[in-house]
Amino acid sequence: EEIVEIEKETHRLAVVNMDWRYVKAVDLYVLFSSLAPPNGLIKSVTIYPTEFGIQRMTEEEVKGPVGYFDGENEITDEEENGDSDADNEKLRAYEKSRMR
């Protein structure tokens, strides 16, 4: 991957790919405060959802988990007998997409 360089430094930090159902601003504030130098100051922590995140949350409120239950009408013998590797992979892909 190419790393994008910025010309002017900022005092902001972006945290991505987190499970935002469980991570709150106060959690990040405590974490960053513990990592700051003794005279360091964390002014504020705010969570801004992306446009993609807002769209996905809206879809999930109406339709439920997007992409996880697609094609569930056909049930094979393997799926009836317990968890299959395909189901686990679908769940992993769904959880990974939620972090975006």
Number of domains the chain contains: 1
Answer yes or no: is 81 within a domain.
yes
Yes or no: say if 66 and 56 are a contact pair by the CB < 8 Å rule.
yes
Answer yes or no: is 74 within a domain.
yes
Gap between the Cα atoms of 32 and 35, Å rounded: 5
Q: What is the pLDDT of residue 3?
A: 85
Answer yes or no: is 13 within a domain.
no
Answer yes or no: is 4 within a domain.
no
Confidence bin at 37 (pLDDT 50/70/90): very high
Answer yes or no: is 32 within a domain.
yes
Q: What is the pLDDT of residue 73?
A: 45
Q: Which tops the pLDDT comparison, 72 or 96?
A: 96
Torsion, Cα 83 85 90 96, to 10 degrees, reads 110
- pLDDT single digits (tens) 59-76: 777 876 666 555 554 445
Answer yes or no: is 18 within a domain.
no
Answer yes or no: is 10 within a domain.
no
Answer whether residue 79 shows pLDDT above 60.
Answer: no
Q: Which tops the pLDDT comparison, 7 or 93?
A: 7
Answer whether residue 19 shows pLDDT above 90.
Answer: no
Q: What is the pLDDT of residue 74?
A: 47
Q: Which domain holds residue 84?
A: 25-99
Share above pLDDT 90 across residues of the chain, in percent, rounded to a whole number: 21
Answer yes or no: is 12 within a domain.
no
